[in-house]
Every structure is written in structure tokens, then in C-alpha cells.
Amino acid sequence: MTWSINSIPSQEGRTVFVTGANSGLGFDTAQALLEKGATVILGCRTLEKAERSRQKLLDETDCGKIDVLEIDLADLEKVNEALDKIAVKYKKLDLLINNAGVMAPPQTFSKQGFELQFAVNHLSHMALTLKLLPLIAKQPGSRVVTVSSGAQYMGKINLDDLQGGEGYDRWSSYSQSKLANVMFALELSKRLQQSNLDIASLSAHPGLARTNLQSTSVKLNGSWQEAIAYKLMDPMFQSSRMGALPQLLAATDPTAKTGEQYGPRFNFRGYPKICRIAPSALNSDEREQLWQLSEKLIGDAVDISKGKELLSTKK
């Protein structure tokens, strides 16, 4: 049976936090969940973008359960400050969707000096997940969905040079960050199960979805070759609303299980189904090493101590 927006069960009473909710997959995900009755926190890089998205959603959706949060994932200290606001305002969090991302920019660094794609796509989402874990754990049956990409299948984790200091290649760094997303989701699932926490961790990827990532990449790199390639490939791309279906399935379908990954039926477009995880992500030793290294890089910038404590408790 085809899974679509209509397959989403009622989300009444659920509180959801979506990063990168101002456009593309994040916006479409937020809209679908709002239409099903959820309270949605829009996580966006600036308040201006967040308020603009909030107003558009209010105009298009018959629901007012929308909150906004300014969260700059390129600065771990600002991530920490933003999440403190959620902890004060909300008593529980049913669903976290780690959706925001950057794709193939020229070599750029986060506020803490990390390669931007690794910082935004992986480190900040790991940090915010662990910081919010005590809030998520208050709601039985809660879920964390981490959004990856088909680039995971081409990714390789360079544990000796995660920041690309020995020679930056923007697409290799992007693929590494998307593989890291899946590795994090799997490792989190394992640790949640070991701690007997009733939280599911899943991953999803949109296939070839038409979002602002493509135009932003072309603009930042000034690549006419890339612009032509996207133009030629355009008929293969599906809408961002279709691309959002895998993460919506992972977030809401009662049969979706921790550790699973969902993607388009043909892995680049189509309705969602359970899909193959990149073989490199199945290496448990590498996942453990990546986790430990990531914790060290997050350091004291984000207070993840309570989340780590929850996961270290074997029950």
C-alpha cells in the first residue's frame, strides 16, 4: 500500500521540534504535522526566517499551534542557549526531527572552527539531541528522526581528519556528514535500547528532492557546470513535499521501528519505504569511535551531561 500524507495518524497532543523548518523538507514536514494537529517548534537560523515561515504556515494551515526558535547550528554555544529556552517552556518533547543541513559549500568553518558541513549536519544535531534527551525521555514512545541523504552511500568517515584539513573536497565532506547522520542514528538507537529508554531513533533520506540546497550550492560556489547539471537533471527530481515523506513516515507511522531507515521507493524518487542503510554505517567500531570523537568536539559548548547520563545507565 502506498504511504502518503493521508497515512499520517492524528498528531493531536504531540509536541514536535523541526530544525531547518523555514524551507524545503523542513517546511513541508512542519506543515504536514501541523495539519494533523501537532504543536510544532520551528527551528530556524534567524528569527526573521522563523517568523516568515510561521506566518506562511498560519496562512496555509488551519492551525495556530506554532512556536519559533532561533537556532544557529554553525555555533554550538548558540545551540546551547536556544535549547535552554525549549527546556524552560516545554514539559515534554514527543518528536525531534534533525532536518537542517548545508550542502557542498566552499571550505567554511563553524564558530568553533569545525568544517561547516560536519558541524551543522552532524555535530550540532548530535549535541541538540543529547541535550534534549531528558525532555524526550519524559514522553513514552517518543522518536528522534535524523535526516540523511543518498550521499551516505558514497560517504567515508575519515576518523583521522574529520575536518578535511588534509585536502578539502566539498562533496566528499558532504557525503561524510550524511554518513555520519546515519551512524549517529544507529548508535543512538543501540544506546537507547541498552538503557531501556522508550525512545526510537530512525533515519530517513529524501532521494532527489527539489529544495533550496541546489540553488544555494550553485550560488556559493559560482559553478556554471553545477548549474547546468542541475538543469539537465531537473526532470529526475521530485518535489520537496514528496521528499519529506520518508522522514514523516519515520516520525509518525506506528509500524516504523528504531534503527530503521526510510527513503523513496526507488532510492531517488517515489513514495517512501524502508531502505538499505549504507554498509559503512553498519561498522559498530567506527560508530563508537565517531561517537566518542564527536562528544570531545562538542566539549563544554553544549551541556549534554544529562543526556549522556541517561544513555550510560544500563537497566
- The residue type of 221 is N
Annotated active-site residue 230? The verdict is no
Find the catalytic residue in 153, 168, 174, 271.
Answer: 174
Torsion of CA 23, 51, 59, 219, to 10 degrees: -30
Q: Comparing C-alpha atoms, which of 146, 22, 17 is closest to residue 82? A: 17
Q: Comparing C-alpha atoms, which of 7, 28, 16 is closest to residue 240? A: 28
Quickly tell me which residue has 560536519 as its cell: 118
Q: Comparing C-alpha atoms, which of 120, 91, 103, 122 is closest to residue 24? A: 103
**Catalytic residues, which ones?**
174
